[in-house]
Amino acid sequence: MFNLEDFDIKLDTDYIGRRFVYGAEVDSTNAVLMNPEYEFNENGTVLLAEKQLKGRGRLGRIWYSSKDFNLTFSILLNDKSLFSKNLTLLVFGAANVVAASIENLFQLRSEVKWPNDILINGKKVAGILLESASHGKKINRLVVGIGINVNQQTFHGDFPIEATSIKNELNQNVERESLLAEVLNIFEEMLNKYKADPAQILKDWRMRCRMIGERIDINDGVKSRYGIFDDVDENGALLLRTEKGIEKIIFGDVSRR
Ligand code: BTN
């Protein structure tokens, strides 16, 4: 059971997570916060669920997470000053935050994998799913969903990349309350950076991405391409160096060759 007091003592933010909603079971924390008809509309609201019945992953996948073991939560952002910027960079920013939190608390080297994964020892420990809603051309709601495998030890299913948890890599149980507080504390700092100097988010991300310069495969579900991971552009697209030149990739699963 998640201990709200232990979490609250460590939360050191102005607004992220100050409105905190704890749910035993929901369909998807992203889906709840994306729905304007629910009561949660305050900027920075965090919804944590012990169990998601329809956890959403990237590319229409399902996010599986065992009840009570992990962190599955979403952050609602209603701050209009964020919406004019490149939202893809927020995914990179959130991945930096999760990787930094794991390193700060557990001294486990974490790498980011394009576009939204966090890995330890080459295995996936966390993922980010950003969703937004628009009115006309204007974005009016933004939700950053984060799933972190914390204390789960076995993973069943067919994953594009092997799954792990912090416990598996650390060989000891992890206190979820401290980890969530650390993520939210750094997330708020990241948002300030994102508003002031979004390019810095990409610079931080590049420092954490170990695949840049390596030979990779990218599968978009229809076809596979291969080449060298040259860089990411200012919008977060992957630049793949192939025999034909540089190709810009917007989505797909990346793996080392
Ligand atoms: C991915 O790697 O495919 C992204 C996974 C994102 C999962 C989180 S868990 C909390 C939030 N609610 C959801 O339904 N999905 C995100």
Q: Dump pLDDT digits (tens) for 104-140.
A: 999 999 999 999 999 999 999 999 999 999 888 888 8
Picking from 117, 111, 112, the residue whose alpha carbon sits closest to that of residue 129 is 117
- Judge if the beta carbon of residue 52 lies within 6 A of ligand 1: yes
Select from 72, 90, 119, 148 the residue to mutate for testing ligand 1; criterion: most ligand atoms less than 8 Å from CB: 72
Considering 133-137, 149-153, 156-160, the range whose residues carry the highest mean pLDDT is: 149-153
CA of 147 to the centre of ligand 1 (A): 5
Q: How deeply is 212 buried, as exposed, middle or buried, from its count of CB atoms within 10 A (0-12, 13-18, 19+)? A: middle
Mean pLDDT of 148-162: 91
**Residue 85: what pLDDT?**
80
Atom number of ligand 1 nearest to Cα 31: 14
Could you tell me the pLDDT band of residue 154, with boundaries at 50, 70 and 90? very high
Which of 132, 146, 180 has most ligand 1 atoms within 8 Å of CB, for mutation?
Answer: 146
DSSP string, 26-77: ES-HHHHHH-TTSS--STT-EEEEEEESS-B-GGG-B----TTTSEEEEEEE
What spacing in Å lies between the alpha carbon of 242 and ligand 1's midpoint? 32
pLDDT at 97: 98
Which pLDDT value is given to residue 192? 95
Q: What is the per-residue pLDDT for 148?
A: 98
The pLDDT-based confidence of 36 (bands split at 50, 70, 90) is confident
Each residue's pLDDT tens digit, 165-181: 999 999 999 999 999 99
116 lines ligand 1 (CB under 6 A): yes
pLDDT in tens, 55-86: 999 988 999 999 999 999 999 999 988 887 88
- pLDDT attached to residue 83: 87
Q: What is the pLDDT of residue 157?
A: 79
List, in order of start, the domains of the chain with CATH numbers.
4-208 (3.30.930.10), 215-256 (2.30.30.100)
User: Per mean pLDDT, which range of 19-23, 85-89, 103-107 is the poorest?
Assistant: 85-89
From the alpha carbon of 49, which atom of ligand 1 is closest? 10
- Rounded to an integer, the average pLDDT of 17-29 is 97
Helix and strand tally (H, E) in the chain?
A: 7, 12
Predicted local confidence at residue 138, as pLDDT: 86
Determine the pLDDT at residue 240.
Answer: 98
Q: State pLDDT tens for residues 162-220.
A: 999 999 999 999 999 999 999 999 999 999 999 999 999 999 999 999 999 999 999 99
pLDDT at 42 over 90: yes
**Residue 7 has what pLDDT?**
98
Q: How many angstroms does the Cα of residue 3 sit away from the middle of ligand 1?
A: 22
Can you point out the beta strands (E) in the chain? 20-26, 46-52, 71-77, 110-113, 117-120, 123-135, 138-148, 215-219, 224-232, 238-242, 245-249, 253-256
Predicted confidence at residue 145, as pLDDT, reads 98
